[in-house]
A and B are shown apart, each in its own frame.
Chain A
Amino acid sequence: MRCTVQKSNTRRAPAWSALQTAAILLLCRLTVFFCCPAPYTAAYAMGMLAAVLLQAALLLPLAKLRHRLQIPAPMLWIYRGFALFLAAYYAASGLRLMHMLHCPSPHLLPALFLLTLLYTVSRTQAATARTAVLLLVITAAAMLLLPVSGFRAAHAVSLYLPGNARAAFFREFRHSGELALLPVLLTHAKPQEQYAPHALTAVCIGRAAVLPLTVLLGTVQNGRLTAWEGSPFFLLLARTPLSDAVRTDGFWLLLAAGCAVLCVTFALQQAIPPRARPVRAALLAVPACAGLTLLLSRTGYDGTGLGIAALLLGAALPYACLLYNKIKGIAAMPRKEV
């Protein structure tokens, strides 16, 4: 795939590897997954898998795109608005998780969250990408411990508990807002023609394998605790300590908070025009995001419509850009053979 935004918009666009691109997209999904209060059932895993496969079918053709992508300015502003909204959605999810877990210092945490964001948003996108890889590696290593530590307490027959696969299918779309950022994100990959398809494939495989398997593990571990009010992922963690003395809830709490901060940072950096001064842009974007977060938290917005819009934006934006350029007679940049 070879796609890029107009040169004027990419002055500060970083060069990301396929791993970095995949890591940031996977972390965004994992963050919402940690915050989701829906109980784990086998139907949940099935619905999720079906949705991920459909999303992959829609997104993988992007890897075959052989034209350089020039996103027109009006579309770029729609994209930025969406990124700002997405940042607020991640922040609201993170705060909801802190509330669900009865975190100490409930007033101090949002303030610290805000200060951290002001700092992280003013950093470069390359730093965000490096942190994403680090966090993904830590998360993956910690997730590997889950089946090992909880093997004895599993009840495989819990897989037959009734559940709603259709609800899970649509929930997966609601939680897939990061897919909208895919087209422009792939323009960061270096060199695009080699790494972009790899990043896309890694995201699709990661989502299709890791999340449904975690839900299945949670189903056999949590068993009948489907009426639990709170994050079933943290219930799973609480029920599978490494030993009677070693609990990992605190580590996961900090990890989830770190992932949430990173996702909000990433989305806000996408919302900020590349030419803007970093500190000034952060001082504008973070309060705007905080206001939107407050609004989303108060209205109890669960992301309905966000995922569908994201998928449409993610899958259709490159083709819409090509069509727009053709209609407007904008010449495509010279093609290079892969």
Chain B
Amino acid sequence: MKRILICMLCALLLTGCTDVRTRRSPDVLALDTAEPTRAAMHATQNDEIISAGVMHPLLFREALENAAGAEISPGHLSLLMVSGNPAPVLPELLQSQEIAPTCKVLYVPDGACTLLESGNAPETGQLDAAVSTGMLPLRTADLIYGDLCGGSGVSAVPAWLHERLTLMLLDADGVQSALSENACRGLALLGGRFETFSFDADGAPCTVRSVSLRISAAVAHDQLCISVCGSVRAETAHRPAAELLLSEMVSSALTETAQAAGADLLFLYEAACKSRLPGIRSCSQSQWRSMLMTAAYQTDLRVTA
């Protein structure tokens, strides 16, 4: 028994769970990556905002610790707000394990810290609600990083633009264009991580119950052809209108991401590998991006009761 107690004491001391009361745990962290680089956080314990200037975004913890006079533990961080270019910052934060892979990310065009300090930043719950109602697809730090490293090197990041949530395309050079509401909903529909998905179909409500869509890739006449086909089970009084609207959402998602910017957010590369397209396995990110921009896109979607 004595040995077990000694082992447990050692484990407790080594895992660093002895100073919970003095430590600050942020739920929201804001990083201004553009000059002057700044960091701000909302500490959950006493509902206070702590901010500090930092030399490098990765050094935010030390700067905030000095400003707060307490140890900072970002283990329970649920939202990372970034302004400037998030592309180089995100992989570094993930690899150094400063943020959890499933941490949500929100892009703010400028002044992420100022937004948090002024109290005008969106609540974490707003982003969660947007995902669960199918307004936005789920985009966590690991998914954004995965798209930047794999696929075509273009990802999409949730953004707070003109006081509303949307999606913006992101590559190594920085944030590019914003997507339309239809494209965001189409991506959410194809991602399938929503809890409820409702919309107005010609004056009558339509609620999606389940989605069974298949993405396939083929080469026809030396051109890549990406097609989305399958069925959506929905409750609606106007099935043709619902079918048309859902098809528009999926088409917008494909044209605004893959066709317009060569962004592969829907595992199109993997679908092409599955179809064993010639030379696809040795294709570089830039080649795949060019192929996506010149590809043809088809949508064949049916609504069933």
Contact = CB atoms under 8 A, between A and B. Distances in A.
B107 to A, nearest CB: 20
B142 A239 contact: yes
A160 B274 contact: yes
A317 to B, nearest CB: 37
Nearest to A112: B10
Contacts of B15: 104, 250
A249 to B, nearest CB: 9
Interface in A214-272: 223-230, 235, 238-239, 241, 244, 247, 250, 254
Given A152-B193, A224-B147, A104 B14 contact: yes
B95 interface: yes
Interface string A56-90: 00000000000000000000000000000000000
B95 A160 contact: no
Contacts of B244: none
Contacts of B95: 228-230
A157 B267 contact: yes
Interface residues on A, range: 20 to 34
A162 interface: yes
Contacts of B78: 244
A155 B190 CA distance: 12
B59 to A, nearest CB: 16
A219 to B, nearest CB: 11
A161 interface: yes
A224 B97 contact: no
A158 B267 contact: yes
B10 A227 contact: no
B101 A239 contact: yes
A109 interface: yes
B281 interface: yes
A73 to B, nearest CB: 37
Given A157-B274, A229-B95, A224 B146 contact: yes
Contacts of A223: 143, 146, 150, 267
A105 interface: yes
Contacts of A327: none
A158 B271 CA distance: 9
B16 interface: yes
Given A155-B267, A224-B146, A224-B149, A241 B102 contact: yes
Nearest to B147: A224
Interface string B182-197: 0000000000010000
Contacts of A228: 95
Contact of B273 (A108, A162, A229, A250): A162
B299 to A, nearest CB: 18
A102 interface: yes
A69 to B, nearest CB: 37
B14 A161 contact: no
B151 interface: yes
B67 interface: no
B248 interface: no
A102 B97 contact: yes
A145 B145 CA distance: 26
Question: 8 smallest A-B Cβ distances: which pairs?
Answer: A224-B150, A224-B146, A227-B149, A160-B273, A160-B274, A157-B270, A162-B281, A157-B267
28 contacts: A102-B96, A102-B97, A108-B14, A112-B10, A112-B14, A155-B270, A157-B271, A158-B267, A160-B271, A160-B273, A161-B270, A161-B273, A162-B281, A223-B143, A223-B146, A223-B150, A224-B151, A225-B142, A225-B149, A225-B150, A227-B150, A228-B95, A238-B101, A238-B102, A239-B101, A239-B102, A244-B78, A247-B100
Given A224-B151, A244-B78, 14 more contacts: A108-B14, A112-B14, A152-B193, A155-B270, A157-B271, A158-B267, A223-B143, A223-B146, A224-B149, A225-B146, A228-B95, A230-B95, A238-B100, A239-B101
Interface of A: 101-102, 104-105, 108-109, 112, 152, 155, 157-158, 160-162, 223-230, 235, 238-239, 241, 244, 247, 250, 254
